Amino acid sequence: MTKITFIGAGSTVFAKNLLGDILSFPEIADSTISLHDIDPRRLETTEQVARRVADLLGVKAQVETSLDRRAALEGSDYVVNMIQVGGYEPATVVDFEVPKRYGLRQTIGDTLGIGGIMRGLRTVPVLLEMCHDMEELCPDALHLNYVNPMAINCWALNRATRIRTIGLCHSVQGTAADIARDISVPLEEINYICAGINHLAFYLQFRRNGEDLYPLIRRVALEGRVPAHNRVRYDLLERTGYFVTESSEHLSEYVPWYIKRDRPDLVQRYGIPLDEYLHRCQAQVAAWDLAKTVLENPDAPVMGALNAALEPIPATPLFKLGVLYVFATINQITLSGEYAALIIHSMATGTPRVVNCNVPNLGLIDNLPRGCTVEVPCLVDRNGVQPTRIGALPPHLAALIQTNVNVQALTVEAALTGKREHIYHAAMLDPHTAAELDLEQIWSLVDDLIEAHGPWLPQYH
């Protein structure tokens, strides 16, 4: 029987979505689902969700839980990882509030920028411990990592452990669906080739029956139909000729051009939601509280709980809508579009699929560094995850991506060697940080962040 272990299972809503995907496949619906989290309350809630999902689907999955990570990992065939080291408070708040004192603003701060650097530094040590446990307890398991900063985490693990780590994200398939809506072409009729790095990959081809669809994409901008939340990506399309995978709010903090403390007009023109991730985290906490209430009181009126969950969230209608979605779908199963279940099913049954994964660059993209984490199409079947060789990216795309890879490389170096100097170097080379702060400010900011994070970071020398 297949054993699928969820690490960080207290991410209840995300775990529920992945469980719905996995257990919807009859061939793997009898798997053992092992749930682990360090928070017993969240773990209990996710256990209830998992059993509810199995009941709704009418399957006989065996659900087990453990607060002991080693016990959960033992004998696993697949390990799905969704932890957030330090959580919303204190770690994420520190990542935003300390840089803000220097005039350095972020939108999400989980992948690159000073926030991504610090998140990587506190996350990599925990993932290394987990993978070393896996080397002992389930050495042949496939590690499916959803944890950001994706490229930094996967690069460090593939360099320092023997565990097969594959990074998964929904940005490629999600953005393809966004483009399909913008150009009014059914997604199922579209074929694309997308490659680069996580959150900064580009659609090298976007076609329908051999027809190049890029003219339709450019027409969206020419006709003034660019969605208000997507102005940054369409601007970069105009200037590079290619559409990028990650959202405009993410992209704006990976490059030096869109967020300027002395140019608030830029933020307004491009509709950049500064501090958005803090509001999203608040909404996620509210959604978890609501899910717990609904699960524990299935027959009781929950409108009071719904109003209480919505009340503390700032005026961000999109994420209030997200809480409402949790309320409406807690007893429903809908496929999420995430890749984890597809990979597990293909490896279990031999059903061939192509998905985009984050893997080591071992001869895949010629003009990016060997060993860095790249996001490329991969064939999945009984032989596992088999990456596709892309060759050389257009030179200007490779050059843009390299600015992000530089930061990732130095953050990985700091995490694996414990040398404090590389944290300064990573921040110095970060495109957004370097565009806003001078060197004295950058070094002082790094010192302040290390001090503020305290025990969440290892000791550096």
Question: What confidence tens digit (pLDDT) does each residue in 152-166 have?
Answer: 999 999 999 999 999
**Centroid of chain to Cα 390:** 23
Question: What confidence tens digit (pLDDT) does each residue in 222-234 have?
Answer: 999 999 999 999 9
Q: What are phi and psi of 147, to 5 degrees?
A: -85, 130
**pLDDT score for 332:** 66
Residue 329, pLDDT above cutoff 90 = no
CA distance 100 to 112: 16
Question: For the residues of 176-244, what is the DSSP string, one character each?
Answer: HHHHHHHHT--GGG-EEEEEEETTEEEEEEEEETTEE-HHHHHHHHHTT---GGGHHHHHHHHHHSS-B
Answering whether pTM is above 0.75, one says: yes
Q: Are 245 and 202 in contact (CB under 8 A)?
A: yes
Question: What confidence tens digit (pLDDT) does each residue in 31-41 have?
Answer: 999 999 999 99
**pLDDT score for 11:** 87
Q: Given 36, 132, 143, 170, which residue is catalytic?
A: 170
Superfamily of domain 3-85+108-168: NAD(P)-binding Rossmann-like Domain (3.40.50.720)
**pLDDT score for 442:** 98
Q: Which residues of 269-297 are buried (b: 16+ CB within 10 A; e: fewer)?
A: ebbbbbbbbbbbbbbbbbbbbbbbbbbee
Q: Are 28 and 2 in contact (CB under 8 A)?
A: yes
- For 399, counting Cβ atoms within 10 Å of its Cβ (0-12 exposed, 13-18 middle, 19+ buried), the class is exposed
CA distance 162 to 150: 18
Domain boundaries, the chain: 3-85+108-168, 276-329
Q: Across all residues in the chain, what is the average pLDDT?
A: 92
- The pair of structure tokens assigned to 79 is 């390990």
CA distance 43 to 66: 8
Which residue bears the tokens 């594959």? Answer: 166
Residue 444, pLDDT above cutoff 80 = yes
Instruction: With cut-offs at 50, 70 and 90, classify the pLDDT of residue 278.
Output: confident
Question: What confidence tens digit (pLDDT) does each residue in 332-388 have?
Answer: 677 888 999 999 999 999 999 999 999 999 999 999 999 999 999 999 999 999 999
Residue 288, pLDDT above cutoff 80 = no
Is 143 annotated in the active site? no
Q: 3-state DSSP call for residue 391?
A: strand
Q: Which residues contact 126 (CB under 8 A, 6 or more apart)?
A: 83, 85
Do the strands 3-7 and 32-36 form a parallel or antiparallel pair, or are they unpaired? parallel
